[in-house]
């Protein structure tokens, strides 16, 4: 005899099952999120492509030079080197008399002045790395100094500065104390001034006469000084700071 087994059917009172409204809402939200995310990715890709094209296209355009600014600066002796700050508001100049001066580029007014050489010595050689300001100065007595001459940036938040420069518009620059202050696009007061960090003079133990050539190189591993004196002696030394 063949037996037939039949799976019992659930008794739901004769009512058809229906999907709750909550499921439809969650499904609609999920579809919206996925669609929006996909469109966002597409828009981001096109935005990146547009940015890259906007940057690269300038490489294929002809160069141009903006109108230059010419100003007279009061310097007593011949300049050795000059450098503008990164925001092009001021520049510094070291002259043969050993005086470092800074001035506002727009007007040529001197904002800072200080002698960086020891008394009684004359500069006969110099070397400088503009990017990081590492500087070496050789003198007529066979001594030299190494260190840094650079611009230092600081933001002014004191009430005195805010009151004195309250009428300074965004992008404009003004002399304040020993530097040049510029109001940034977000309204802050940014001051640029020279900073001098030179070690005490050291004597080259080999050779005689003035230092005629000098080089000062600094990297992650070491600092190195090379110099040539009046008699042709060449000196190569690693720098050890104590």
Do 93 and 56 share a structural domain? Answer: no
pLDDT of residue 239: 81
Residue 47 lies in a domain: yes
Domain housing 56: 21-60
Do 104 and 141 share a structural domain? Answer: yes
Residue 52 lies in a domain: yes
Residue 72 lies in a domain: no
Distances in Å between the alpha carbon of 64 and those of 7, 61, 155? 87, 9, 33
pLDDT of residue 14: 52
Residue 180 lies in a domain: no
Residue 30 lies in a domain: yes
Do 113 and 42 share a structural domain? Answer: no
Residue 44 lies in a domain: yes
Residue 144 lies in a domain: yes
Cα 133 from Cα 82, distance rounded (Å): 11
This model's pTM is above 0.75: no
Cα 198 from Cα 24, distance rounded (Å): 74
**Nearest one of 229, 219, 228, 230 to 238, comparing CA atoms:** 219
> What is the count of structural domains for the chain?
2
E strands present in 22-105: 79-84, 90-95, 99-104
- pLDDT tens, N- to C-terminus, the chain (242 residues): 555 545 555 555 555 567 777 877 888 888 888 989 899 999 999 999 999 998 888 888 887 777 777 777 777 789 999 999 999 999 999 999 999 999 999 998 999 999 999 999 999 999 998 888 999 999 999 999 999 999 999 999 989 998 999 999 999 999 999 999 999 999 999 999 999 999 999 998 889 999 999 999 988 778 899 999 999 999 898 887 66
pLDDT of residue 16: 57
| Maximum distance among all Cα pairs of the chain, rounded to whole angstroms | 129
Residues with Cβ < 8 Å from 51, sequence gap 6 or more? none
């Amino acid at each position: 005899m063949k037996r037939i087994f039949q799976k019992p059917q659930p008794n739901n009172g004769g009512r058809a099952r229906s999907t709750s409204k909550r499921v439809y809402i969650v499904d609609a939200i999920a579809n919206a999120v996925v669609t929006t995310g996909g469109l966002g990715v597409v828009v981001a890709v096109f935005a990146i492509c547009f940015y890259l094209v906007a940057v690269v296209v300038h490489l294929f355009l002809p160069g141009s030079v903006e109108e230059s600014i010419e100003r007279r600066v009061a310097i007593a002796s011949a300049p050795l080197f000059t450098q503008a700050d990164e925001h092009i508001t001021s520049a510094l100049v070291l002259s043969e008399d050993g005086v470092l001066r800074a001035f506002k580029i727009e007007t040529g007014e001197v904002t800072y002045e200080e002698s960086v050489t020891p008394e009684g010595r004359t500069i006969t050689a110099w070397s400088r790395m503009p990017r990081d300001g590492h500087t070496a100065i050789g003198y007529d007595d066979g001594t030299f100094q190494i260190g840094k001459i650079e611009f230092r940036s600081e933001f002014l938040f004191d009430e005195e500065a805010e009151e004195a420069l309250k009428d300074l518009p965004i992008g404009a620059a003004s002399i304040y104390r020993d530097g040049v202050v510029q109001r940034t696009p977000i309204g802050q007061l940014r001051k640029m001034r020279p900073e001098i960090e030179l070690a005490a003079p050291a004597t080259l133990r080999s050779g005689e006469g003035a230092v005629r050539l000098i080089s000062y190189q600094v990297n992650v591993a070491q600092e190195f000084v090379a110099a040539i004196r009046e008699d042709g002696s060449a000196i190569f030394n690693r720098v050890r700071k104590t």
